[in-house]
Structure 1
Amino acid sequence: MELYIWIYLLASVMWAVSGSECQFPEEWRGRWHEGRRTDISINSMSHKGTCIEREGNKYFMLNKDSNNRKCFKCLVFIQWHPNLLQYKESPCWYEESFHHVCNLINGDALLHTLVKATSSPQPCPFQGSYTFSYINGTMSNLPCESPISEVRACADESKFKFAYKRCNGIPGTYDKEVDFQCMATWENGEKYLYGSFSEPWMTRVEDYMYRCFMHSFYGTHGDMSMSADATCQGLQSPTLGSISLKFTKDLNQPRGTCRFTDILVSRNKWRDLSGAWFLEVEAGLQVLRLKSRKTGDVIKYAEVASALDTSTTKLVIKCVQNTYTAQTKTANVLQTDYITYVTDDECKSGYQCVRLIKRDTNILEMYLGDRLNGTVASCTDANFENAKKDLLIPDVNDAGQCSITRKGVYTYQDKASECTGTVNIGCATPNKITIDTRCPNQRRAVASTHTEKVEILDCLYSWTSGSKTFIIIQNGEQRAKCLTFIDTEIGVVELQSDDSCQSDRWTVSNQYINYVLYSPPDACGGSEIQADQNTSYEKPDVEKHSDTISRAVGLNAGHLATIFTSILLLVMFRVR
């Protein structure tokens, strides 16, 4: 009996070991698309059976036929790209022979293609705008050349818009605009591309049309053949497929012939104060890319190497011409207007005026003017009448690099309420602003009752313009905002949140900052507010009363611990 138990245990271990060896690679795990099927999971490939043996890229699967009889399949995989897998499979065979079943796969076997559902789009192997003619080989051998079709570039290098034109008298041609996104590229003797077509009515990924291409681009021309379905079957050459396309580069697109301001040299990424988008500077200062990112209220800086890039390119800006007549330099302010050629995320291109104003080494204002009907000799103020001002700062965490010029502990009175308090600028902690607020509690009858709030803000950057000093502030990784010190004509200093910086206004105790400051008799003298950095702390009423009682009896945590220990020892002694 004991022998049978040992045999059973040994068989179980051998089965577990053999099963564990038949595992699909970790990087293949997750959902994949195969044509219109979007529910394929390579964790088990359960729709193909259960893997019982593996040898290299060959997987031996236990399956059942249509009559529910046990049979065996062989799957042979090849991965050309992290986003793409291809495989061939044998017919279901009733003999459990790994090598024999795998040998049943011949060269004519159907080549299946899988594309990862969560794949990151890839830059297309061709860039720019093209015109093209095409042959729909499923219905005709005649090329559709007039009217000519177009491929329009998009801001995102992984996207294009195909605008097909219908040619009279040629079947299989049509008027249609479709969006195309590149998913994978690879080489296997020829150059291949895999991507998806979509139209506005396609609201589900199941509706997307996946296609495989073989391509060859040379100089200003190119050839590309397209498969008839989601596989790569039937592609024989770049000029022979179910649909064949012949491309010609659109040479009317202007190239970058000027350089943007040198302030962009030191930083290759700049973000707006909200952190919702950033400006990426290409080498040579001829091209800017405006990208959006999904971060909510939390700012993720470019220096965090582990963070995945989830940004989407919204606008590509090419410098075409500097308009030096609009260039001024006063009080370290440098303004330059540019004629640019832009391409947006809707694949529309055209000329646009762009104004960049350097406020300081790390402060840049950007205005995107109206789109132009063709090029103009220069940009004027009229081109920016409806332009929104965007304040840009380097896309890095530069807290601690700010130079605060108004250090001191100020008392203040809120102009819009009965709140008072102190503003500690650079005294408690260098390059930090601490706001201590005390407001009457309107919900209680006791007049002395009040709420307290301490706000600690990082100073990122600052600059001065006339009677105003602007400070870019941030609390931890929240959105950056703007504080403004204003020297008034009556000799007092006002502190306001976002006076012309045009960012979201900062609030303390649900009130916008709008204070009158009283200059300190001794800068950074007297008491300093102590609190945890990057935090906002408000004492509840119970805690405030507890603090009052503790101070009245002169007790602290150490005294209480000593008393408690003495009582405990006394009790233990009496028990003995």
Structure 2
Amino acid sequence: MRPAPTAPSEGTMALLSPCSVVQLLATVVAVLPLHLVPAARQEEACYFPGKWEGTWFQSGVRSPIIISQNRLSTKGRCTASEGDKFVVFDEKSCYRCVVIHEKHANVLQYKESYCRSRESLVNLCSLITGDALLYSMFRIEATAVPCPFKGPFTFTYNRGHGDCRSPVSSIDSCTEDSRLLLRYQACPDIPGTESTVEELQCLATWKEGSSRYLVGKVRHSHATSNEDRYRCFVYERSALAAAGGGGSGAGGDDGVDFRVAQSGDATCNGLFSPMEGSRTMTLRKAMSHSKCWFPAWLTSSLRWHTLDYARSYTFHHRNTTLRISNSSLAGGHKPAPSYANTLLSGAGISVSMGLSSDAASQEMRVVCTELKQQTGDVAHLVTHFTMGCQSGFMCMTFYRRDGHVIEVQTGSHTWRQEDACLPANFNKSTLPFVTLVTSSPEPRQCPYLGKFSVTGLSRAGRAARSLRHGRGRPRRDLDGLATDACPEESQDFTTLVVGCSTVDTMEFRSKCLPADVVSAYSCHGRWEDNGTHYLITTPLSRSSHGARRLCFMYRELEGLVLFSSSADSCQRGVSPGVGGALAFNVTSSGQCVEANSCVRPGARALWAVAAVATLAAWRHVER
């Protein structure tokens, strides 16, 4: 351990003359390293901008580059700075000047001097020549930005062996405006061309002089590392397109909207003009897929939901665009698996289209392309869909069941518009229906007003009395009526009262429960399809895990009405009274006046008194 310094004794100091003291101090100052004090001050003040902190990729550097406070992981520690100039010092006692320019929050470019012994910042930075290599760093966990051009486009491309013009290649926008899908076509007479699909995620854009730059991540079958994925682009918009006159067949620059050049590696080196690059492209605006409007009765409500609220259907942009999304995308929670949900994740659209399994979690954008047939309550049309970066055509039929209830059938995905509604891709008799309602559907009169006895109750195909429910507060929906208060054999409802309190209300009651414990449902739209009736209802008192809406499917048979229910859609494959989440039969046991004998007789007596009084008055007038 280094001994602690001791102060000179008074006797020692007394032996030194004032001149000796001055000479001693001068000697001490002379032998101290002159750079210690100013260097410490400089190092304390030298930090890289906080917005640069993070993990970066640089071509040719195997490990990610980390910028944190005063350290640049591959270069060392910052010892001095002035503006965009930084002196860094590494473990090999190497000093160098690094001049860093921020092109975008996700892109840093720099030049550097050679390794030297310690020199001033000015001297080190003066060693960087104009032709020094320019290095680019791309932020690894970058937030994507909107792409500077939005599809659809057609384009030709050149990889140094001539323009690939026929067949023409295409660009489509993805659901997110930060992604584009490029479909390259192979030209038989042009070497180096191939048929492939690439997805471009835009990460940064900036302007430098008269040139505009784009950095993106390209995903394709051959991209296995960041060296393959990161690419730099320089582009320009044609003067005619910039003035609003661009597009296919617009004239001028042969209808060109954009010219683009792409780097051949994960740098921006050598990109000075959109006419020169590893690959150059000429983009022309293609015809929009949106060519018709959804019917007014469909867009009268801009937002529709599946019965279980698992998915929402929202209309945008002057009734030409429909967006279908998971409620979990907006609400932050994952809905329970449901029949309607499987249309995009299991046995429906996703599988028939051949889309990837993760597509179900993404929003689908649908535009009206061709109106095939329209009547007062049915619209049959061809649509173009985009889900993530996958797109194509599909046939859809919408049915108006009520002002606040619609249904939709959706066919298989096709690449060609003319194939979408062919029987092989759209079979009306086998396709499932998705039932949609508005957020606040209006009440409607319920069917079969009166009082009914319930028999043959089963849940999901099992007899109701065999079910045991957990203990807790009595519930008031069809999930179970206060089962702990009843013996096992009578734990579910035994009576259905329709329209007796109000004409739009159905009430399920049990014999052993108090009169105030009732499962009440408000009726909305109803319709008939192929002999089966469908009724949309809303629980008036819903448990936290109960259904948001219910579809009752029912059919009359020899004095019985057979009922089944579903909480996600009005399923056509369910046999009323047998299948479904809940199945039961009802028979009439009286009119509404008998359901409340304490009140209604009084009303009848008043009517009789009024009738007698009226008759007496009439006879008096005749006399």
| Category of TM-score, reference length = shorter chain | 0.5 to 0.7
- Cα contact 1:154–1:345 (8 A) shared by 2: no
Find 1:496's aligned residue among 565, 570, 578.
565
Deviations 1:175-211 (A, max 9, x none): 2414131323332332222222232354x55464321
Deviations 1:522-555 (A, max 9, x none): 69x9xxxxxxxxxxxxxxxxxxxxxxxxxxxxxx
- The letter of the residue matching 1:186 is W
Deviations 1:30-86 (A, max 9, x none): 43333475733333532222234555554443323xxx2242443413142x44343
- Cα contact 1:270–1:393 (8 A) shared by 2: yes
- 1:484 partnered with 2:552: yes
- 1:42 partnered with 2:87: no
- The letter of the residue matching 2:334 is V
Find 1:186's aligned residue among 198, 203, 206.
206
- Cα contact 2:433–2:572 (8 A) shared by 1: no
Residue 464 of structure 1: how far off its partner (Å): 2.7
Residue 154 of structure 1: how far off its partner (Å): 5.0
- 1:260 partnered with 2:294: yes
- Cα contact 1:62–1:72 (8 A) shared by 2: yes
Deviations 1:382-405 (A, max 9, x none): 6534534233456xxx5x877597
- In structure 2, the CA distance between the partners of 1:104 and 1:76, relative to structure 1 (3 Å rule), is farther
Deviations 1:197-249 (A, max 9, x none): 232354x5546432111112332313111123212121111112233222344
Residue 312 of structure 1: how far off its partner (Å): 7.0
User: Which residue of 2 is the match for residue 514 of structure 1?
Assistant: 583
- Cα contact 2:307–2:567 (8 A) shared by 1: no
- 1:196 partnered with 2:221: no
- Structure 1: any 5+ residue segments left out of the alignment? 5-10, 301-309, 329-333, 506-510, 526-576
- 1:391 partnered with 2:435: yes
- Structure 2: any 5+ residue segments left out of the alignment? 8-35, 248-255, 337-358, 493-516, 575-579, 599-623
- Cα contact 1:62–1:73 (8 A) shared by 2: no
Which whole-Å CA distance do the structure 2 matches of 1:216 and 1:401 have between them?
51
- In structure 2, the CA distance between the partners of 1:277 and 1:3, relative to structure 1 (3 Å rule), is farther
Aligned Cα RMSD in Å? Answer: 5.4
- In structure 2, the CA distance between the partners of 1:72 and 1:155, relative to structure 1 (3 Å rule), is closer
Which whole-Å CA distance do the structure 1 matches of 2:451 and 2:117 have between them?
87
- Cα contact 1:32–1:38 (8 A) shared by 2: no
SS in 2 for 1:47: coil
- Cα contact 1:434–1:456 (8 A) shared by 2: no
User: Which residue of 1 is the match for residue 268 of structure 2?
Assistant: 232
User: Which residue of 1 is the match for residue 169 of structure 2?
Assistant: 150
SS in 2 for 1:101: helix
Residue 116 of structure 1: how far off its partner (Å): 3.2
- Cα contact 2:525–2:535 (8 A) shared by 1: yes
User: Which residue of 1 is the match for residue 47 of structure 2?
Assistant: 22
- Cα contact 2:412–2:420 (8 A) shared by 1: no
- The letter of the residue matching 1:335 is V
For 1:85-100, what aligned pairs fall within 5 Å after superposition?
A: 85-95=108-118, 97-100=120-123
Structure with bigger gyration radius: 2
Find 1:51's aligned residue among 40, 62, 78.
78
- The letter of the residue matching 1:231 is T
- Cα contact 2:172–2:181 (8 A) shared by 1: yes
Which whole-Å CA distance do the structure 2 matches of 1:22 and 1:478 have between them?
57
Which whole-Å CA distance do the structure 1 matches of 2:390 and 2:47 have between them?
46
Residue 353 of structure 1: how far off its partner (Å): 2.3
Residue 502 of structure 1: how far off its partner (Å): 4.2
Deviations 1:81-123 (A, max 9, x none): x443434444344325344434444443433333333334444
- The letter of the residue matching 1:322 is L
SS in 2 for 1:256: coil
- 1:124 partnered with 2:147: yes
- Cα contact 1:412–1:420 (8 A) shared by 2: no
TM-score by length of 1: 0.63
- In structure 2, the CA distance between the partners of 1:494 and 1:370, relative to structure 1 (3 Å rule), is closer
- Cα contact 1:79–1:85 (8 A) shared by 2: yes
Which whole-Å CA distance do the structure 1 matches of 2:573 and 2:116 have between them?
68
Find 2:137's aligned residue among 114, 120, 126.
114
- The letter of the residue matching 1:471 is T
Find 2:375's aligned residue among 327, 335, 341.
327
SS in 2 for 1:418: helix
User: Which residue of 1 is the match for residue 56 of structure 2?
Assistant: 32
- Cα contact 1:154–1:347 (8 A) shared by 2: no
User: Which residue of 2 is the match for residue 246 of structure 1?
Assistant: 282
Which whole-Å CA distance do the structure 2 matches of 1:495 and 1:17 have between them?
79
For 1:405-416, what aligned pairs fall within 5 Å after superposition?
A: 414-415=457-458, 416=463
For 1:252-331, what aligned pairs fall within 5 Å after superposition?
A: 253=287, 255-263=289-297, 265=299, 268=302, 270-272=304-306, 278-291=312-325, 298=334, 315-324=364-373, 326-328=374-376
Identity of aligned residues (%): 21
Deviations 1:129-160 (A, max 9, x none): 44443333xxx4x5234544512425434121
- In structure 2, the CA distance between the partners of 1:182 and 1:269, relative to structure 1 (3 Å rule), is farther
SS in 2 for 1:42: strand
User: Which residue of 2 is the match for residue 84 of structure 1?
Assistant: 107
User: Which residue of 2 is the match for residue 556 of structure 1?
Assistant: none
- In structure 2, the CA distance between the partners of 1:386 and 1:485, relative to structure 1 (3 Å rule), is closer
User: Which residue of 1 is the match for residue 259 of structure 2?
Assistant: 223
Residue 494 of structure 1: how far off its partner (Å): 4.4
- In structure 2, the CA distance between the partners of 1:198 and 1:382, relative to structure 1 (3 Å rule), is closer
